[in-house]
Amino acid sequence: MTEMPQPPPGEQQADEGAPVPGAAPAPAPAAASSRIAELEAELSRLRSDAVAGAKVLLRVAPPHVLFCHGGHTVGTAPTPVPARAAAAMTEAAAAAGVTLHQEG
């Protein structure tokens, strides 16, 4: 049988399972996986926003209720439209006698 070396007097031997002084306690496994899921969802949303680009909110003014142009449909509620398509959509709406308002 091999004898384990003892640390010099005044020094403590590191325990791999012991908490590190001054460190935050490790979260419970359920809390950790919940937080991981939240962060993954946020990352997914940020990636899709980056791919989609900036958006503006447009809405149709009465008496109209919908306007479609370039694959985008705007209703009476503020509707997100890619910023790169907003100018063309507004011009097409004006040519068709429809008024679009930009929100915010």
Q: Please state the pTM of the whole predicted model.
A: 0.49
Quick one: pLDDT at residue 72?
92
CB 100 within 8 Å of CB 74: yes
Q: What is the DSSP string of 76-94?
A: SS-EEEEHHHHHHHHHHHH
Dihedral-angle region of residue 30 (phi above 0 means left; psi in -120 to 50 means alpha; beta otherwise): alpha
- For the segment 1-55, what is each residue's pLDDT rounded down to a tens digit? 566 666 666 555 555 666 666 666 666 777 788 888 888 888 887 777 666 678 8
**Where do the structural domains in the chain lie, given as residue ranges?**
29-103
User: Rounded to whole angstroms, how far apart are CA atoms 73 and 80?
Assistant: 9
The Cα 65–Cα 35 span in angstroms is: 42
Q: Are 83 and 55 in contact (CB under 8 A)?
A: yes
